[in-house]
Structure 1
Amino acid sequence: MDELEERVRRQLYRFQDLADQMKAVRGRETSEDGAVMAEVDGNGALQDLQFSHAVSRMTPAEFERVVVTTAAAAARNAFERRAEIVNRFNEEMAG
C-alpha cells in the first residue's frame, strides 16, 4: 500500500509540474528587420508587442503583414515548446 501511495504522490507532483511548465511557456519572435517583437503565452495569446522606429517607414499594409507574421511565428514557437513538454511528460509517464 505504501508503494502505491508513493507512486500516486509522484504522479500528482508530476502533473503539478506539467501544469506549472505549461503556464510558463512563452513564444517570442522578432521580425527580420527588427521592427516588431511579439511575445505570446502557451495558448498563443499576445502578451507583449514592441515596435522599433523602423515601423515609421512602413506602409499600413507592410506594418500589418509584419505584425501578423511575427505574432504567428511567436505562437508557433510557443506551441512547439508546449509539444516538447507534453511529449516529455508522456514519455516519463509511460516509463
Structure 2
Amino acid sequence: MDELEDRVRRQLYRFQDLADQMAAVRGRETSEDGAVTAEVDGNGALKDLQFSSAVSRMTPGEFERAVVDTAAAAARNAFERRAEIVNHFNEEMAG
C-alpha cells in the first residue's frame, strides 16, 4: 500500500510540474528587419508587442504583415516548446 501511495504522490507532483511548465511557456520572435518583436504565451495569446523605429518606414500593409507574421512565428515557437514538454512528460510516465 505504501508503494502505491508513493507512486500516486510522485505522479501528482509530476502533473503539477507539467502544469507549471506549461504555464511558463513563452514564444518570442523578432522580424528579420528588427522592426517587430512579439511574445506569446503557451496558448498563443499575445503578451507583448514591441516596435523599433523601422516601422516608420513601412507601409500600412507591410506593417500589418510584419506584426501578423512575427506573432505567428512566436506562436509556433511556443507550440513547439509545449509539444516538447508534453512529449517528455509522456516518455516519463510511460517509463
Q: TM class, shorter-chain normalised?
A: over 0.9
Identity of counterpart residues, as a percentage? Answer: 91
Structure 1: tracts of 5 or more residues without a match:
none
Partner of 1:85: 85
Structure 2: tracts of 5 or more residues without a match:
none
1:46-83: per-residue Cα shift (whole Å, max 9, x none)? 00000000000000000000000000000000000000
SS of alignment partner, residue 33 of structure 2 = coil
Q: CA deviation at 1:7?
A: 0.1
Distance across 2 between alignment mates of 1:68 and 1:53: 18
Q: CA deviation at 1:23?
A: 0.1
Q: CA deviation at 1:4?
A: 0.2
With normalisation by structure 1, the TM-score equals 1.00
With normalisation by structure 2, the TM-score equals 1.00
SS of alignment partner, residue 40 of structure 1 = strand
Partner of 1:38: 38
1:25-52: per-residue Cα shift (whole Å, max 9, x none)? 0000000000000000000000000000
Q: How many residues align?
A: 95
Partner of 1:59: 59
Q: CA deviation at 1:20?
A: 0.1
Aligned-CA RMSD value: 0.1
Q: CA deviation at 1:92?
A: 0.1
